Amino acid sequence: MKREPEAFLKEEIKNIYDSNLNWVIRHLEASSKPHSVVDGKNVLMLNTNNYLGLATHPKVMQASIDATKKYGAGAGAVPVIAGTFNLTKEFQEKFAKFKEVEASILCQTGYAVNSGVIPQLIGKDDVVISDQLNHGSIIDGVRLTSAKRLVYKHCDVTDLGVQLKEADKSGARRILIITDGVFSMDGDIAPLDEISKFAEEYGAMVFVDDCHGEGVLGEGRGIVAHFKLQGKVHVEGGSMSKGFGVFGGTVAGSKDLIEYITNKSRTYLLSTAHPPGLVAACIAAVDVVENEPEHVKKLWDHTNYFKKEVQEMGFNTGNSQTPIIPLIVGDPGKAQKLGELLFTEESIYVTPIVFPMVAKELSRIRVQMNALLSKEDLNNALGAIERIGKKLDII
């Protein structure tokens, strides 16, 4: 039988485009700021995770430059062989203090945290209980385990209680509850205080992926600080690539947890360590969040104003509680058209979010606030969104 090994690719790609589920990849030609250049066009960016604008903060940039001049461009090895600089030690100590925990570790990415750490925490005699709308990287991390898997309805602690009872009756050796802190597609917040109470009752471990909460909630310290749960959440996974504006995954928790990850997580052990300039930038970013609270305040001022205005226009913003503000359209084709016309006619750069990121009937534009935006920027964006929204009969 003669086979065409790549024939399926064209068919799959055609199906993606025919269903309006394709991603439009645009290219930045300047820095990640609200005013940038994308595909040769001057635009206002409303779709970056760089919430506080720290990617271009002078202190963060200078720290990267200075460290690169001193240490070079690359780490040269995985962390446990020869890739760990004194800068890494400095960052990990600083970040643990910032998080108000015993220890922390800098991993390669937030995705690597979930795919590398989750499989080491639970095995075949254990149960993992996961929120229905958890990030894909959590889902992949859970799939790599041999634990029994249970799912509770999104942010529904009553259903979590039902799943915990089932896990407890099964005689599980360990129970792991895992949730996003801030859900990246809807911008809502996990009820971590209630989750923590349930976990304590059943002796379960709690793992929160706080990638979109760090730099945003709890005066920048994240969802655990937001709920004042320091010491009660066992694993805080996070990312330096969003609110902190740099790059890299993090885990914060007990000394035992961090030492265990150092010795067991394969994504950490088998991936080259971060370039020293990047680690220095991470140190500087944490320092800025600690000492310049005006960035977090401005982010929330923008969030409250923008969300109120789009809601009054008639847009459905779902259950957003954070600077992630979805404009839920429904039809994926219409969501794609909204993003296209905002870019081509109004010079507003937003990203349509379609299946498999969200359910097809919940296709949307995801708007994200940024501390570097001005009131004029917000009003210009609001005017453009209203014009195109009416043109497409969305509002």
Residue 298 identity (one-letter amino acid) = K
Exposure string (b/e) for 261-273, b if CB count within 10 Å is 16 or more? Answer: beeebebbeebeb
Q: Which of 212, 234, 274, 298 is labelled catalytic?
A: 212
Dist CA 101 CA 35 (whole Å): 37
Dist CA 205 CA 2 (whole Å): 52
Contact call for residues 71 and 85 (beta carbons, < 8 A): yes
Dist CA 131 CA 139 (whole Å): 10
Dist CA 39 CA 28 (whole Å): 7
CA dihedral 209, 269, 288, 369 (to 10 degrees): -40
Q: Which of 130, 137, 184, 363 is labelled catalytic?
A: 184
Residue 35 annotated as catalytic = no
What are the helix and strand counts (H, E) for the chain?
A: 14, 13
Dist CA 220 CA 216 (whole Å): 5
**Tokens standing for residue 179:** 């949730």
**Tokens standing for residue 308:** 């109120």
Contact call for residues 33 and 349 (beta carbons, < 8 A): no
Give the C-alpha distances (Å, rounded to integers) separating 94 from 105, 166, 225, 282, 287: 11, 40, 16, 10, 9
Residue 104 annotated as catalytic = no
Nearest to 129 by CA among 95, 81, 161: 161
In SS3 terms, 112-127 reads as HHHHHHHHHHCCCCCE
The residue behind tokens 């920048």 is 220
Q: Which of 99, 135, 242, 302 is labelled catalytic?
A: 242
Nearest to 352 by CA among 385, 326, 370: 326
Could you please report the per-residue DSSP string of 308-342?
HHHHHHT-B-TT--SSEEEEEEESHHHHHHHHHHH
Phi/psi of residue 207, nearest 5 degrees = -120, 120
Q: How many residues does this entry show for the chain?
A: 395
Residue 212 annotated as catalytic = yes
Tell me the three state secondary structure of residue 77.
Answer: coil
Catalytic residues: 184, 212, 242
